[in-house]
Amino acid sequence: MLTRLLLPAVSVALLTTSLLAQDDSAPETASSSAEVEAIQAAVDSYLEAFNAGDAEAVAEIWSEQGEWITPAGERVKGREAIQAAMESYFAEDGNPSIQVIDPRIRLLSPSVGVEEGRARVTRADELPAETSYIAIHIKQDGQWKLESVRETEIPQPESNFEHLRDLAWMVGTWVDQDGAGAVETTCAWTKNRNFLTRSFKVMVADRIELEGTQVIGWDPELEQIRSWIFDSDGGFGEGVWSRDGNRWTVNGFQMLQDGSRSSSINVITYVDADTFTWASTGREVGGELLPNVGPVTVVRR
């Protein structure tokens, strides 16, 4: 009871110090294990409400006197103020989603628990933002509520995302299919969005004829987007990208497995979120000119 009466006046730092001083080797009782599970259930409800953009449901998981200290150091005090802050946050573009990483929950008493971990918030077309946090949970009327949360921003490594964000629409799986076969391409970001990777496979009569990988990145020396490609026939090459409106031109050069060289000018034209066209001109292999290809329509799977 005394702990509960003093809780609002106790800083997060003091509670954390008290927590860390506990003996990790102390046996966990069935009742404490059940309470930890109950706190985890409350955390899961918070994540579900946040990812649904439901500010009222998020606020309900806080105590009436709860306090949220944001990564910027701003103090938001009370359930109503927290709900208003969440409503404003969710009103911004981007449909934020949150993920909790490596959460650790311990009990200080039957009615007080401490949770520590990292939170990752993701918005559309933005790099994920990560914070470390310490949360105090208190049990009121048989329910676990958030009493306080202190977040600290985790500095993120520099990324080339800003240089590549105009190609973000390529992320996903795409198919170009006709009666002779199909080409399937899957594009994804690497960690920290420094590169886009595209894996492709050429199918003929349900058989893979060729497959490979393309990596798209930013060259800070040339200040241009470049790509590197490797295929299952032993060929490899590179391309230099340039943009004109919704059209991307890729000047590509490739070394084939037998030592001959090839080149082409590939044009990728964005049509909408689910469609683009691809065409290849100036195609040359070992000094011999080849016919142009396309444009062909490629659709999102």
Give the integer Cα–Cα distance in Å for 241 and 239. 6
What class, spelled out in words, does domain 161-300 have in CATH?
A: mainly beta
Residues spanned by CATH 3.10.450.50 within the chain?
A: 9-153
Task: Write a three-state SS string for the chain.
Answer: CHHHHHHHHCCHHHHHHHHHCCCCCCCCCHHHHHHHHHHHHHHHHHHHHHHCCCHHHHHHCEEEEEEEECCCCCEEECHHHHHHHHHHHHHCCCCCEEEEEEEEEEEEECCEEEEEEEEEEECCCCCCEEEEEEEEEEEECCEEEEEEEEEEECCCCCCCHHHHHHHHHHCEEEEEEECCEEEEEEEEECHHHCCEEEEEEEEECCEEEEEEEEEEEEECCCCEEEEEEEECCCCEEEEEEEEECCEEEEEEEEECCCCCEEEEEEEEEEEECCEEEEEEEEEEECCEECCCEEEEEEEEC
Q: Quick check: 156 pLDDT over 80?
A: no
Predicted pLDDT of residue 123? 84
pLDDT digits (tens, 9 = 90+) for 66-101: 999 999 999 999 999 999 999 999 988 668 999 999
Read off the pLDDT band of 221 (50, 70, 90).
very high
Residues spanned by CATH 2.40.128.20 within the chain?
A: 161-300
User: Mean pLDDT over all residues of the chain?
Assistant: 87
What class, spelled out in words, does domain 9-153 have in CATH?
A: alpha beta
pLDDT digits (tens, 9 = 90+) for 118-139: 999 988 767 788 999 999 999 9
Read off the pLDDT band of 19 (50, 70, 90).
very low
Task: Tell me what percent of the residues of the chain surpass a pLDDT of 70.
Answer: 88
